[in-house]
Structure 1
Amino acid sequence: MSDSNKKILILGVGNILYTDEGFGVRIAEELDQKYQFSPNVDVLDGGTLGTRLIGPIMESDYLIIVDIVLNEGNPGDIFRLLGQDLEKACAFKNSMHQTDLLDTLAQCSLMGQVPDDVILYGIEPVNYKDMSAALSPELEAKMPEMMDIVLKEVEKAGGSYTLRSATNPATEKIYVPRDSSRNT
């Protein structure tokens, strides 16, 4: 299969109501709002859907997950995780969705349809316990860097993108906007 035929899924996961826990979802929202992707690329706010993500995951050839991870780094450190490292980083119990994501990937594997490539771009959180629709200032500042990293991964996988404009505006509405006023 040529790279341009690969079905690429950008999956942002997390809970936007718990500060940095929503980082992956916020990245997916920003990517969808700012860029139009080639037909072989889908951007999905996976929230805390867990096993409901089996269908979209099984339909993809190249899965790019964005989430927070506890990986013994400093707050704001970004990690590219594959295989066993991905499993270790996703296994922490303080998250509302991490173990669901591992279970979902395991179920896809049992059904024989796991993407050829699964990459997790994780960021070490500052705060994932307090209720707030705002990201911590440290993670808010890391959003452009993470978006650039994900866009490069999309290109590497055979996808493309263009900046949105008045002629190709975003069609999705963000229902719980980030409270960035808290970060000033």
Structure 2
Amino acid sequence: MKKTALLGFGNPVRSDDSVGCYVIEQLQRRLPANPDLIILDMGTSAFEVLFQLQGNERILLVDGVINTGEPDGTLYHLPAAEVEAAIQDDPMVFLHSLKWDQALSYAKKILRDDYPEDVGVYLISITNTKLNLGMSPAVLAAAERLVGIIADRLGLAVQPAVAPAAAP
């Protein structure tokens, strides 16, 4: 297996926005240990992405995405090149408010030849970002599908889930 880092983003107290963290938590619990695999809950930080990319051959990011116009739970897989191409080069960006997509763009410039060739982004469409623990049923179902998709992509067997209750 390629040396891989899995990075999940989200806010665990903002309902469906916790989806990236949930997927990462499930992968941490349900995938077998592997010395070539790092699984990190990045929370709402993004600048740290720069430090996780170096030394890995493959990076997979997971997050929720709002305002897609698609139903909650719609799953997207984007190659990093598509995300990086959408970023405006802003030399005045405040690093403490840097988002992971911006971090990818800057990392490519900073790391140059050390930037991983295999970078992918998985997004799940969400609308509920209210203060609440737990996710809506559609987003939770998509998160569980994504756990399986990522495990398959890595060629690893995933253990069965014990899913939390969905938010009302």
- TM-score when normalising by structure 2: 0.79
State the partner residue of 1:82. 79
State the partner residue of 1:35. 31
State the partner residue of 1:170. none
Which amino acid counterpart does residue 165 of structure 2 have in structure 1? Answer: S
How far apart, in 2, do the equivalents of 1:90 and 1:23 lie? 23
How far apart, in 1, do the equivalents of 2:35 and 2:123 lie? 25
Distance 1:54 1:83, change over 3 A: closer
State the partner residue of 2:99. 100
Distance 1:8 1:79, change over 3 A: same
Structure 1: give runs of 5+ residues left out of the alignment.
Answer: 92-96, 165-177
The worse-fitting range, judged by mean Cα deviation, of 40-49 and 136-145 is 136-145
Distance 1:179 1:161, change over 3 A: closer
1:90 touches 1:98 (CA, 8 Å); kept in 2? no
SS of residue paired to 1:123:
strand
1:23 touches 1:135 (CA, 8 Å); kept in 2? yes
2:137 touches 2:166 (CA, 8 Å); kept in 1? no
Distance 1:37 1:108, change over 3 A: same
Distance 1:138 1:153, change over 3 A: same
Distance 1:137 1:98, change over 3 A: farther
1:69 touches 1:123 (CA, 8 Å); kept in 2? yes
How far apart, in 2, do the equivalents of 1:86 and 1:51 lie? 16
SS of residue paired to 1:30:
helix
State the partner residue of 1:138. 138
Superposed CA offset, 1:51-104 (max 9, x none): 12211122221111111124332211111111454358899xxxxx99510221
Indicate which of 44, 48, 51 corresponds to 1:52.
Answer: 48
Count of matched residue positions in the alignment of Structure 1 and Structure 2: 156
SS of residue paired to 1:180:
coil
Which amino acid counterpart does residue 78 of structure 2 have in structure 1? Answer: L
Is residue 2:17 matched to residue 1:16?
no
Distance 1:85 1:108, change over 3 A: closer
How far apart, in 2, do the equivalents of 1:62 and 1:38 lie? 14
2:12 touches 2:18 (CA, 8 Å); kept in 1? yes
SS of residue paired to 1:37:
coil
SS of residue paired to 1:132:
coil
- Percent identity of equivalent pairs: 22
Distance 1:150 1:25, change over 3 A: same
Superposed CA offset, 1:28-49 (max 9, x none): 0011112223211111101112
Distance 1:123 1:40, change over 3 A: same
Is residue 2:123 matched to residue 1:122?
yes
Which amino acid counterpart does residue 115 of structure 1 have in structure 2? Answer: P
